[in-house]
Structure 1
Amino acid sequence: MVKCHLSTIMGERRLKIADVSRDTGINRGTITRMYNEEATRVDLDVIESVCNYLRIDIGDLYEIINEDSSESSA
């Protein structure tokens, strides 16, 4: 499973979805889906724009969660 940390990062920086959308030119719906972890596909140029805007690496935005290891440790 891929986890998106956009909501956490935006919360820490007190950014609103509308601000990120306006400042990056990315559709508000796209940012909302990423924020709510509902996006199933995100264009690479969108990811690049978000990372550049937030001054983070892709690994800071997305993380692969191994579901097998979380089940065995529970």
Structure 2
Amino acid sequence: AGEDFHTRVEGSTVPALAVTGALDPALSADLMRATWMSWYARAELTELPACGHYAMDETPLALIRTVEDFLRADGPGDEAHG
């Protein structure tokens, strides 16, 4: 968490997904927009409304659905990600 890797990924065109919890005081959607989302050209952000910092524990089904939808959307012939 203390490493600054943004110079190695900035401008990357790899589809990337950032998932935040609306109740997370540390890694908010606003923070992701100011950092992660600006580094990845094809980034998407999903904020889970009933979740804090530990989505895998707090809202596992919502997290799974979010990741699966993201992965499916980048399949062959899908224009959602370009």
Q: Structure 1 length as normaliser, TM-score?
A: 0.30
Name the structure where helix makes up a greater proportion of residues.
1
Q: Structure 2 length as normaliser, TM-score?
A: 0.28
Name the structure where strand makes up a greater proportion of residues.
2
Q: Which has the higher contact order (CA 8 A, sep 6+)?
A: 1
